[in-house]
Amino acid sequence: MDPNRLVTALASALKRGELRRSAFVASVDRVRALRSNLGRSRVAGRSLECRAHAEGMVSGTESPVGGPEVVIRDGRRLCYEQIGDPLGAPVLVLHGTPGSRLSGVHAHRHRVAEAGLRVISYDRPGYGGSSRHPGRRVVDCVGDIAAIADQLGLDRFAVSGGSGGGPHALAAGARLAGRVTIAACHVGAAPYDAPDLDWFDGMDPVNVRELGWALAGEETLAAELAREARNMLDRLEQDPAALLEDIELAASDRTVLERPDVRGTLSASTREAFSHGVSGWVDDDLAFVAPWGFEVEEITVPVEVRYGEGDVLVPTAHGRWLATHIPGASVTVDPDRGHLSTPDEQLERLRALVVD
C-alpha cells in the first residue's frame, strides 16, 4: 500500500478504536522509515542557533517576550500585538497551528491602517510570550479573548481565525455573542467527534501522523513535536518554504509560499512560536482531538466559513460539515485554491468583515 494511504488508514483505525495507541505509534514509525527509504527528503544538520532551542524544547515555563501583555485572573500572561489604525474597526486575528501573534502581522503595516482596520493578534497559551494553560480546551480561548478586549477597551469586535485558529474563532462566536460582531473561520477544522464526518479523509499524511500522536497521548505528542520543531527551525536556516516541503500542497499554495513577504512572516512567526518550547503546539493538538467544550449549533452571531477545494491540510469535508451545521453561515468555496492565501487577500477579507 502507498505509505500516504497507509498512515491515513492507521489513523482512521485508531479513531474507531480498532488499533491501540502504542501500535499506532510503532506502525507510523515503520511507515516513516519506509518513506525515507523511498527517497523522502530530509534536511540534515543543525545550526548553532537551532541547537540552543533544542534544550528544554518541551518546557512549559515561559517568560513574556516581545509585544505588550495582559495578566489574567489565574495569573497567566498573554502576549499580543496591534497594528493598523488605533481608531479603526477592531478585528482579533487568531493564528494557526503552530503559530504566533506575528502570523497576523502584514508585512506592510501601513496597508492595514489604510484599510481602516485595527488588527489585534495574540499568542495562544504556550506559544511565544504567553504562559502555558495545560489541559485547555478550544472553548477556553474565550476568556483569554475577552481579557485582551477588556484591556484594550473593546466592547464590540470581529474575530477571524485561520486553520488552527478557526475553531477558536467559532468558540468566540458561540460564547461572546454580546461582543463579537462576526466570526470568520477560514480553512478551519470541524470537531473531531463530528457525526457523519470521516475526519482524516483527504488529509495529508503529515497532518494525519501529527494528530495521531495527539491521540496516542501527551507524552508521545510532546516528544514528537519537540523533534519536529527542531527540524522546522533547521529548515528556516535554508528556506522558510521548506517547512511544508514534505506536504503535497496544492499548486496555489506553492505559489503563495514563493512570495518573499510570506516567507518572512512565516520565519518570524515560527521562531516566535517556539521561543519557549512546543507546549502551545502540544496543547492545540490535544484540544483539537478532544471535545471542544461548545457546539457549533449554538452560534447565533454571523459566521463566515471559507475553504479551498484543493486543501490537504484541512480537507474540504471539514468546511462542508461546518457550512451545514453552523446556523445561517455564509459559505465561500475557493475551487482553485488550497490552504494558503496571500497577505493582501487576507487583509481584504478582514476589511470585508467590518464593512457596513
Q: And the C-alpha cell for 214? A: 495527539
Provide the whole-model pTM: 0.86
Tell me which amino acid residue 228 is: E
Rounded Cα–Cα distance for residues 119 and 113 (Å): 9
Is the predicted pLDDT of residue 4 greater than 80, yes or no? no
Is the predicted pLDDT of residue 15 greater than 90, yes or no? no
In total, the chain counts a number of residues equal to 356
The pLDDT of 30-57, averaged and rounded, is 40
Q: What is the predicted pLDDT for the residue at 54?
A: 32
The pLDDT of 310-320, averaged and rounded, is 98
Q: What is the predicted pLDDT for the residue at 66?
A: 59
Supply φ then ψ for residue 193, to 5 degrees. Answer: -95, 20
Running DSSP on this structure, what letter comes out for residue 296?
G
Rounded Cα–Cα distance for residues 298 and 316 (Å): 22
Is the predicted pLDDT of residue 49 greater than 50, yes or no? no
Query: Which tops the pLDDT comparison, 302 or 246?
Result: 302
Q: And the C-alpha cell for 9? A: 488508514
The pLDDT of 284-292, averaged and rounded, is 98
Which distant-in-sequence residues (6+ apart) come within 8 Å of 167 by Cβ? 138, 161, 185, 188, 189, 191, 288, 292
Cα–Cα distance list, 243 to 27, 61, 111, 233, 235 (Å): 24, 26, 27, 9, 6
CB atoms < 10 A from the CB of 46, how many? 16
Answer for the pair 170, 188: CB distance below 8 angstroms, yes or no: yes
User: Which superfamily is assigned to 63-199+226-354 in CATH?
Assistant: Alpha/Beta hydrolase fold, catalytic domain (3.40.50.1820)
Answer for the pair 92, 78: CB distance below 8 angstroms, yes or no: no
Percentage of the chain lying above the pLDDT 90 cut = 75
The pLDDT of 332-350, averaged and rounded, is 97
Q: Which residues pair with 89 in a beta bridge?
A: 117
Q: And the C-alpha cell for 100? A: 504566533
What's the whole-number average pLDDT of the chain?
A: 87
Query: Which tops the pLDDT comparison, 187 or 42?
Result: 187
Answer for the pair 170, 333: CB distance below 8 angstroms, yes or no: no
Task: Specify the residue for cell string 505509534.
Answer: 25
Q: With the CA atoms of 222, 224, 227 and 228 taken in that order, what torsion angle do they form, in degrees rounded to the nearest 10?
A: -100
Q: What is the predicted pLDDT for the residue at 46?
A: 30
The pLDDT of 98-104, averaged and rounded, is 94
Supply φ then ψ for residue 63, to 5 degrees. Answer: -115, 145
Helix (H) or strand (E) holding 157: strand 157-162
Rounded Cα–Cα distance for residues 257 and 153 (Å): 36
Q: How far apart are the first and last CA of the chain?
A: 53
- What confidence tens digit (pLDDT) does each residue in 109-147 have? 999 999 999 999 999 999 999 999 999 999 999 999 999
Q: What is the predicted pLDDT for the residue at 40?
A: 40
In this predicted structure, which of 41-45, 148-152, 259-263, 318-322 has the lowest mean pLDDT? 41-45
